[in-house]
A and B are shown apart, each in its own frame.
Chain A
Amino acid sequence: MSTSSTLTAPASPPAHRADVGRPRLTFGRILDAEWTKIRTVRSTVWTLTSLFVLSVGLTALICFAAAGELSQDAADEPIGAFATWGLMFGQIAALVLGILVASAEYSSGMIRTTLAAAPRRWSVLAAKATVLAGLLLVLGAITSTAAILAGNFFLDREGIGLSLSDPDVLRTMAGGGLYLAVLGLFGLGLGLLMRHTAGAVTVGIALIFVVGNLVGLIPGAAGEWLTKLMPGNAGTTMATVESFNPDLLGPWTGIGVFAGEAALLLLIAGWLFSKRDA
């Protein structure tokens, strides 16, 4: 690096200071800054690319592989469940992106820069949540629509394609975005609570993939209800045309429960965020 050791006027006389002006810190500005942050790191590009590629690719793959069989036996497999099958794996990327929005600031120490610039912590959290949810809502809907179209291409060839004007299909196209946005917010809560990327990813994946299935082993109504209510079970029906598990909560109830869980987690994380030292 060739740097001049001589100092070129490090700051300007008061006349210029007035020129810079003294705008106030506003929520809109924090929002703009958070948007700038999320779009200027590669991890965002990578997570969103894997979200799309995994979701669409795996859906296409399973539909290509299973369409023949599905068309033959008058199957007890719900065909609609295959149309967004890849999202089951793609969703990890949305969870990770949500976690990173908070945890990457702690691993780099940047959180101190953030809070020095915007000391209102609840506003910072709200801005992060808005940017993340907006991004996942849009890209999630695009992903889920693309997955349905790709999967349906193979289902159609075997004559078992879904009607794209079916209300449940249309609901799933948008619902994929909604589900992934809530999942991202859940990740944001985890990341802010744990302040550690690897730890939060482990806990998040365990909750959604392992614990969600294990609670089904609890006998009786308790097990049944826990299965319905676990994050990663509740809400998933919003992102599927039909669910493999008919016992899960319906799409709107499910997403409502999941959104409530994410909101509760964010409130706890936000409360600690405002109390703890940065």
Chain B
Amino acid sequence: MITAERLTKRYGDTTAVDAIDFTVRPGSVTGFLGPNGAGKSTTMRMVMGLDHPSGGRVTVNGRAYRDLPAPLHEVGALLEAKAIHGGRTAYNHLLWLAKTNGIPRRRVNEVIGMVGLEAVAHKRSGGFSLGMGQRLGIAAALLGDPGVLLFDEPVNGLDPEGIRWIRTLIRSLAAEGRTVFVSSHLMSEMALTADHLLVIGRGQIIADTDMADFIARNSAAHVRVRSPQSGVLAEALRDRGWRLGRADDGALTVEGATPEQIGDVAGSRGLYLHELSVVSASLEDAFMRLTADSVEYHARTEQPIPAGV
């Protein structure tokens, strides 16, 4: 369980994290979603006692991180892919880490096996690919068999196999009853892994919601229908009380009706249909709408590029 109360981080005049409150509960995956620069990593570093809050507090299992008697037995974290000295072998990296918290040597071999790094365990990690480095980071996080796990952008830069592996791992850790806190800037990733969603933008929590609720609320679909007799069709559909709109290409958009209902209406009037399709709003769109006001750096695509550049 991770609890933040009025947690704040300021750097000079800029407020990176602005008095946020949240609770991350055991037994489920809590997604921490926000655009780049929203304050996700800063928040995670404060949870880990690495960055000092400017105000408020955050506790893990009821205690400040630095007061945990044996931190690795309670919290495991993958904060950044490269928090490893490239000159040391994977095995030795895990070995020194294990020693800090009195974790036995055989557990080092165990976690190496879990992440599938046996073949390269005695090679220096400087030569590791991003995916291997990520696996080593995860081995380090699992070392103390902790009940609380933090993953900061775990799938960044990974190949599809690595991404799938991490998703499965995250799901299974939560299924075992652990508290899992995962950050990402990709809504689609969160939709696949998280049960609960915390959305952060400009240092503030802008949504704290159940994932299923969020999807239900935001994936509202509409039906697109094209007909050569669209005037007559529109009349008929409006009679049924459905909300109509018109797409750019002249097709009708219908909210609140299924394609079957619309097809039946058209058929009963003998109207021709050239297209009848469901258009579902993407969660990515919902996320963009939610964070539209809180994105730190907008790409200014509307700006025409001057000629001759």
The answer to whether A110 touches B84 (Cβ under 8 A) is: yes
Within the complex, the shortest CB–CB distance from B62 to chain A, in Å, comes to 16
Inter-subunit contact B87/A36 (CB<8 Å): no
B155 interface residue per 8 A CB criterion: no
Q: Which residues of B contact A116 (CB under 8 A)?
A: 48-50, 71-72, 75, 77, 79
CA distance A105 to B88 in the complex (A): 12
Interface range on chain B: under 10, 10 to 19, 20 to 34, or 35 or more?
A: 35 or more
Find chain B residues with CB under 8 A from A113 CB. Answer: 83-84, 97, 140
Tell me whether B172 and A10 are in contact (CB under 8 A). yes
Contact in complex: A2, B119 (CB < 8 Å): yes
Instruction: Give chain A nearest CB distance to B146 CB in angstroms.
Output: 9
Check B308 for interface membership: any CB of A closer than 8 A: no
Nearest B residue to A37, CB-CB: B96
Given contact pairs A11-B173, A16-B145, A116-B75, A1 touches B129 in the complex (Cβ within 8 A): yes
Q: Which residues of A contact B129 (CB under 8 A)?
A: 1
With A108-B82, A109-B82 as known contacts, state yes or no: A120 contacts B52, CB within 8 Å. Answer: no
CA distance A29 to B95 in the complex (A): 12
On whether the beta carbons of B114 and A8 are closer than 8 Å, the reply is: yes
Residue B85 CB within 8 A of the other chain = yes
Tell me whether B70 is interfacial, beta carbon within 8 Å.
yes
Closest to B46 in A: A277
Q: Total contacts A to B, CB within 8 angstroms?
A: 149
Complex Cα–Cα for A32 and B96 (A) = 8
Give the distance in Å from the alpha carbon of A113 to the alpha carbon of B90 in the complex: 14
Whether B97 pairs with A23 at a CB distance below 8 angstroms is no
Asked if residues A112 and B100 are in contact (CB atoms below 8 Å), the reply is: no
Q: Which of A9, A40, A41 has the most CB atoms of chain B within a 10 A radius of its CB? A: A40
Instruction: Find out whether the CB atom of B83 lies under 8 angstroms from the CB atom of A109.
Output: yes
Contact mask for chain B residues 52-87; partner A; CB cutoff 8 A; 1 contact, 0 none: 100000000000011011111101010110111111
B145 touches A108 (CB 8 A): no
- Pairwise interchain contact A25-B173, C-beta atoms closer than 8 A: no
- Given contacts A10-B169, A10-B172, A120-B66, is CB(A3)–CB(B116) below 8 Å? yes
Most A CB contacts (10 A, CB to CB) among B49, B66, B102, B104 go to B102
Whether, in the assembled complex, A165 has its beta carbon less than 8 Å from a beta carbon of chain B, the answer is no
A4–B116 touching, CB < 8 Å: yes
Residues of A within 8 A of B272 (CB): none
Render A6-26 as a binary contact track against B, CB cut-off 8 A, 1 for contact: 011111110011001111111
* A115 in complex: contacting residue of B49, B75, B99, B116, CB < 8 Å: B49
Q: Which residues of A contact B45 (CB under 8 A)?
A: 112, 277-278
- CB atoms of A117 and B100 under 8 A apart: yes
A108 touches B86 (CB 8 A): yes
Q: Answer yes or no: B275 CB below 8 A from chain A CBs.
A: no
CB closest chain-B residue, reference A40: B92
Chain A residues with CB under 8 Å of chain B are 1-5, 7-13, 16-17, 20-26, 29-30, 32-34, 36-37, 40-43, 104-105, 108-110, 112-113, 115-120, 275, 277-278
